[in-house]
Chains A and B, each alone.
Chain A
């Protein structure tokens, strides 16, 4: 199975900060990488797919980059609504689909 490792596990930041979360894959997943935001008690919500394509309706302060084995999610200017847990996921069709362990974004 492809292992997905996110860093950091927890991130403390303030409103207005620029933050970056990293996701590393144990094997090449091409661009088949998605990012989700999950708030407490809710289902995950798709933010980014194909590593860098913003899902419809997602604010433009979110962006994704990378390919192969290293990916990043960047929030350009944190808003109060952004404090949540973020997960990466690889969805290569010929592999078991795996998620990162999550990054909890907390208010500093």
Chain B
């Protein structure tokens, strides 16, 4: 059964770097067309796409956050890592990782991890 699970700190101080890890199972990021995205959802608000990494290591970023984000993968560990620099309270959100299928749509989501940015 395909699963994804996010992990990382629950509390981060302003200006620090946030590192989140998505660990997945039952699919491979070496499969042609496959990808993993990160999406966040601020409390009571809508969904915001952050970054996507493809099987061939191609990477896409949200234009508004591009300068602060780095996405990477470790196919041997079935993990995707998202780094966000210089966080502030506006980055407080639930962060999800999502599988992108080879044919483009996104099907499986992790349970999400709530990150609070506060001093």
Name B's interface SS.
strand
Q: Which of B61-119 contact A (CB under 8 A)?
A: 62-63, 96, 100, 104-107, 109-112
Query: Which B residues lie within 8 Å of A87 (CB)?
Result: 46-47
Q: Is the CB of A89 within 8 A of B106?
A: yes
- The smallest C-beta distance from A46 to any residue of chain B, in angstroms, reads 5
Name A's interface SS.
loop
Kindly state whether residue B57 has any CB partner on chain A within 8 Å: no
In the complex, how many residues of chain B place their beta carbon closer than 8 angstroms to a beta carbon of chain A? 19
In the complex, how many residues of chain A place their beta carbon closer than 8 angstroms to a beta carbon of chain B? 22
A96-B63, A97-B52, A99-B48 given; A34·B105 CB < 8 A: yes
Query: Which A residues lie within 8 Å of B110 (CB)?
Result: 43
A1-B63, A96-B62, A96-B63 given; A101·B109 CB < 8 A: no
Among B37, B100, B106, chain A packs the most CB atoms within 10 A around the CB of: B106
Query: Which A residues lie within 8 Å of B109 (CB)?
Result: 43-46
Among A49, A50, A100, chain B packs the most CB atoms within 10 A around the CB of: A49
Closest to A1 in B: B63
- Pair count A-B, CB < 8 A: 48
Query: Which A residues lie within 8 Å of B104 (CB)?
Result: 32, 91, 93
- The smallest C-beta distance from B109 to any residue of chain A, in angstroms, reads 4
Closest to B110 in A: A43
Q: Is the CB of A43 within 8 A of B62?
A: no
Q: Is the CB of A44 within 8 A of B105?
A: no
Task: Give the interface of B toward A (CB within 8 A).
Answer: 37, 46-49, 52, 60, 62-63, 96, 100, 104-107, 109-112
Q: Offer 26 A-B interface pairs, CB within 8 angstroms, sorted by A.
A: A32-B105, A34-B105, A43-B96, A43-B110, A43-B112, A44-B47, A44-B96, A44-B109, A46-B107, A46-B109, A49-B105, A50-B105, A87-B46, A87-B47, A91-B100, A91-B104, A91-B105, A93-B104, A96-B49, A96-B60, A96-B62, A97-B37, A97-B49, A99-B46, A99-B48, A102-B46
**Apart from A96-B60, A102-B46, 7 more pairs, CB < 8 Å:** A32-B105, A42-B111, A44-B96, A46-B105, A49-B107, A87-B47, A89-B47
